[in-house]
């Protein structure tokens, strides 16, 4: 049966959801602002051919809420927001559409800052920026941070190292077998970090050119025919599973049969349901919450707001190691899932800092 339609008031605690439509350019977008307790919502723009408007709404609501937690745990003075554009970026993206989208972002008057996500790139943000100043992740040529996938992958690698330290006592992936599902913008950089560290890497992707690029860069990497075959161990049993494509990869069924000891990847909203996280915990599979470990990208683009400095942003992204380790330790001591522990830490900061907005200033 199809999912029930989204009831924006009953099903969410979002502050604002905006539907943006420009018929002539073909723009159909949804912008969701989950929370501005810590500051304006910051989150990328996903360009994807959703099957329905309801699917797009569900995705943007989940993604924007994840950004609230992600930005809080990254120590940023930013809230959570996200946008999705409905369409195929390979055929539907054009200057008029991106500029129309930029005008809708501008109309929010700084409550939401946009950036890149799946299907959008720094060059696209340069076009969006011709209509709004509330945009990050621009090209280096225009004073921006450039490709945010660089520090996203770096942060995921730090999260993996923290997971290894928590589970095996050493912050190293050397000799471990890591399966990377999705070798697009982030996955390709993550594979590079893993190969450099001496891990055995197995990859899969639905797009053959992405696999061809990985093999050109790293000939020693193994390729599985599908994520299912990779998880089944057809290319060797996994120590770490890294979902780096779209969300929902960790269903209850996957959680029940997953052979890897660690899950740590770049994809957003990896847990299809909270029950999947509970199953992983019951089976002793260590799940590094995605909104903790994949925050390197938002750290990178947020640094633009101060005048971008890559080394400063990288130092901040290095802190993902300590944050991940603290959350894994807290989950173990509290007897909760790692996702629950991460959400509690984020909510504590949101409450503690957000309440300062209530202190009157003359």
Closest to 342 (Cα-Cα) out of 297, 266, 287, 301: 287
Angstrom distance (rounded) from CA 27 to CA 53: 13
Closest to 223 (Cα-Cα) out of 249, 245, 176, 191: 191
**Residue 339 burial (10 A CB sphere; 0-12, 13-18, 19+):** buried
What is the CB-side half-sphere exposure of residue 114 using CA atoms within 13 A? 37
Contacts of the segment 343-347: beta carbons below 8 A, 24+ positions apart: 343/69, 345/73, 346/68, 346/69, 346/72, 346/73, 346/291, 347/72
The structure tokens 């101060």 sit at: 306
**Residue 136 burial (10 A CB sphere; 0-12, 13-18, 19+):** buried
Angstrom distance (rounded) from CA 265 to CA 190: 9
Q: Is 17 annotated as a binding residue?
A: no
Annotated catalytic residue within 65, 70, 82, 200: 82
Mark whether 82 is an active-site residue.
yes
Q: What are the angstrom distances between the C-alpha of 307 and each of 73, 114, 138, 165, 302?
A: 22, 16, 12, 34, 9
**Residue 272 burial (10 A CB sphere; 0-12, 13-18, 19+):** middle
Angstrom distance (rounded) from CA 245 to CA 142: 28
Q: Is 185 annotated as a binding residue?
A: yes
Q: Is 175 annotated as a binding residue?
A: no
Q: Is 182 annotated as a binding residue?
A: yes
User: Residue 353: left if φ>0, alpha if ψ -120 to 50, beta else—which one?
Assistant: alpha
Residues contributing to the annotated binding site: 182-187
Residues annotated catalytic, as ranges: 82
Residues contributing to the annotated binding site for NAD(+): 182-187
């Amino acid at each position: 049966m199809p999912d029930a339609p989204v009831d924006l008031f009953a099903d969410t605690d979002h502050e604002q959801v905006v539907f943006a439509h420009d018929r002539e350019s073909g723009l159909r977008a949804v912008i969701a602002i989950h929370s501005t307790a810590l500051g304006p919502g910051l989150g990328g723009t996903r360009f994807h051919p959703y099957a329905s408007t309801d699917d797009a709404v569900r995705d943007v609501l989940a993604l924007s809420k994840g950004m609230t937690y992600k930005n809080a745990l990254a120590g940023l003075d930013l809230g959570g927001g996200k946008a999705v554009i409905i369409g195929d970026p390979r055929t539907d993206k054009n200057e008029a559409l991106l500029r129309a989208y930029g005008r809708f972002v501008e109309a929010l008057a700084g409550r939401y800052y946009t950036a890149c996500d799946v299907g959008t790139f720094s060059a696209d943000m340069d076009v969006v920026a011709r209509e709004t100043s509330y945009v990050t992740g621009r090209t280096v040529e225009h004073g921006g941070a450039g490709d945010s996938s660089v520090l996203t992958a770096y942060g995921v690698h730090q999260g993996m190292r923290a997971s290894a330290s928590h589970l095996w006592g050493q912050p190293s992936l050397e000799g471990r077998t890591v399966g990377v599902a999705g070798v697009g913008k982030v996955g390709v950089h993550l594979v590079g970090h893993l190969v450099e560290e001496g891990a055995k890497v197995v990859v899969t992707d639905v797009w053959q050119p992405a696999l061809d690029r990985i093999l050109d860069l790293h000939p020693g990497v193994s390729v599985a025919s599908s994520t299912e075959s990779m998880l089944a161990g057809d290319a060797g049993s996994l120590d770490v599973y890294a979902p780096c494509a779209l969300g929902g990869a960790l269903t209850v069924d996957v959680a029940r049969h997953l052979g890897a000891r660690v899950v740590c990847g770049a994809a957003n909203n990896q847990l299809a349901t909270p029950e999947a996280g509970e199953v992983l915990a019951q089976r002793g599979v260590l799940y590094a919450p995605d909104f903790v470990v994949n925050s390197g990208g938002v750290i990178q683009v947020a640094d633009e707001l101060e005048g971008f400095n890559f080394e400063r942003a990288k130092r901040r992204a290095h802190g993902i190691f300590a944050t991940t380790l603290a959350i894994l330790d807290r989950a173990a001591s509290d007897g909760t899932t790692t996702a629950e522990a991460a959400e509690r830490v984020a909510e504590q900061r949101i409450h503690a800092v957000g309440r300062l907005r209530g202190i009157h200033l003359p």
